[in-house]
Structure 1
């Protein structure tokens, strides 16, 4: 059994006003070609098909054409909804698409859909678990305490009735603890949405979506494939790819990647404004790339963006790296805040403003407010 794992297509996304529809069409065509070259049994899409819950007409049409191409080549596709998707909209027409080998996760209703495939070694069960929050799970397990994301996902997995003698693949879209994140991802302060990788112990492979950097968590078989395109400057140095999974008999699994080549790459140029303009004529790389400019000038350059776009039409943004920016300090650095949970952030802010600690009563009230906010998040 051979499967291709991809995720976080974010169809319809734009970067600083630039539509990426053509770039996404180019990369989806490439994924179809890789699937055909590999003679794969199917493509897994682990959530965030679209960038918005109500996607544009262009994005819907693009995904429709992708599914049509896969169906014509007899390539099965297994899709779950992510936190950016509307599960109800994404799965419209899913019942009659099964006849074409297109399988969608259902909106979560207390159980998890599975698709059973067969090869010479027996059954392979694909469990399609869409993005879930604790409040999605609580109504179906009212006899249990479900305070957080980890408990929610574990509760659902424990209820699935997995046959451990067969090969099982979980497709899910969650934030696993210790994953390396990118700027293009949706952030919940302090990692309240974290789940632990040890809850996946019953699966031969876990096809993860949600995190944009390709990586595995603790072991090779728990893997984020990453986005097929670069969606932020923090991804400039990444090599984007799809993951190819080959399953033989139980516990015999091989994992490798196939690199993807973008229509337009994303890169960074760092220098003074005059040097960038002067050297553009000898820059042999594609001037149509998406460019992040870092200027080292000590003073701001008037009309810098429009002047730079005359030589690099897809300039995304301009940053300054100079004496002034290097010496900007805050009482709480954002890099530190990202590692703190909301309670710690508020406590640090309170202490910074009052030079005193929260009382025990204030701390309990804070916890109540935080729980109420996050349990009602949309």
Structure 2
């Protein structure tokens, strides 16, 4: 059997305010071609199908089109919810979807009941462990008050799964959405820390043929049978060096036979620029960055006016801007120290100087005096 391991689609997510739905649908629909070309039997999504618990109608429509394309390509689909999904909403029509080859494993009570997909060697058992919020999951799993945290609830879930595996004697694929020790995080994952401990030990997954992990957005190998596929697109500039991909997992009669990586297309690359604004706008050396999503660090001594609009005249996909002047910004002070013994005009001028690293001109001082006089209800001096 051949399994395609994916996760963290986050359909409907934006990137620094930029709508990514078209890019997401393009990359994810391409999975259907991979299914057909590689003769994939099952596609798994290990959590965070959507970016929000209540996705937009446009996100739901796009996701439905992607799933339909994958099903038409000939694969069964197994999905479990992540911490961004609403498990009840995602699993609302699970019984009906199953008839079309879409298996939504969203209920904690049923996590030990597998989806059985047969091949020439018999059935492969797919277990979907939804994201387990520790406290609600503890009650749902019947754990006592001393058994708390991610490790306790995921450990109990896997104990039940392994008991079912042993009883069936079947080959197994486990989907889980968790932060496993050894994984490397990025800036785009929502924290799942509870009491400061978001991690679970990798040893929990010993005894399963393959664990398809979700939550971390970079593709990672924690063990031959224990991997993160990562997200199909970059959702933060910290992912600029990620090579977005999916795992092709082969199972033979004895279990895991091999895993291969398949890289995904990049609809728009990420880039970064640093320098003063005039140089960035004029230097031809920056031309390769024009079509990228950009984060820009301006080093002008004085904060430029309307910098983002001017940048977008040349770099239409600039999304994030920081101002870090050469030589540093004015020294930070406590508010009480900054205003102590100063007039309103001095405080206003100090604020202008601090925010742009340049004191106000005489004309700007006149405007500040007029504004302060208007607030005080008297004529400016």
Instruction: Give the structure-2-normalised TM-score.
Output: 0.80
- The CA RMSD over aligned residues, in Å, is 2.3
Matched, 1:258 2:290: no
Match runs of 1:340-351 below 5 Å: none
More moved, 299-308 vs 136-145: 136-145
Matched, 1:272 2:289: no
Match in the other structure for 2:352:
none
Q: Check whether the contact 1:110–1:137 (CA below 8 A) recurs between aligned residues.
A: no
Residues 239-273 of structure 1: per-residue CA shift (max 9 Å, x gap): 11111111113244211211111222222223332
Match in the other structure for 2:132:
132
Q: Pick from 177, 180, 201: which aligns with 2:181? A: 177
Q: Pick from 291, 298, 306: which aligns with 1:288? A: 291
Q: Pick from 176, 182, 196: which aligns with 2:201? A: 196
Match in the other structure for 2:170:
166
Return the alpha-carbon distance in structure 1 between the equivalents of residues 48 and 226 of structure 2.
Answer: 18
Q: Check whether the contact 1:131–1:174 (CA below 8 A) recurs between aligned residues.
A: yes
Residues 296-341 of structure 1: per-residue CA shift (max 9 Å, x gap): 3343222111101111111110124555559999xxxxxxxxxxxx
Q: Check whether the contact 1:15–1:231 (CA below 8 A) recurs between aligned residues.
A: yes
Match in the other structure for 1:153:
154
Residues 105-151 of structure 1: per-residue CA shift (max 9 Å, x gap): 13323643311122223331110111012223322443633211101
Change (3 A) 1:285 1:31: farther
Question: Unpaired runs of 5+ in structure 1?
Answer: 330-378
Q: By how many angstroms is 1:93 displaced?
A: 1.8
Matched, 1:209 2:214: yes
Match in the other structure for 1:318:
321
* Matched residue SS, 1:162: helix
- Larger C-alpha radius of gyration, 1 or 2? 2
Match runs of 1:61-140 below 5 Å: 61-109=61-109, 111-140=111-140
Count of residues in Structure 1 that have an aligned counterpart in Structure 2: 328
More moved, 198-207 vs 30-39: 30-39
Q: Check whether the contact 2:247–2:262 (CA below 8 A) recurs between aligned residues.
A: yes
Match in the other structure for 1:2:
2
Question: Unpaired runs of 5+ in structure 2?
Answer: 333-381
Return the alpha-carbon distance in structure 2 between the equivalents of residues 22 and 54 of structure 1.
Answer: 19
Q: Check whether the contact 2:271–2:289 (CA below 8 A) recurs between aligned residues.
A: no
Return the alpha-carbon distance in structure 1 between the equivalents of residues 73 and 21 of structure 2.
Answer: 23
Instruction: Give the structure-1-normalised TM-score.
Output: 0.81
Change (3 A) 1:129 1:119: same
Change (3 A) 1:325 1:40: farther
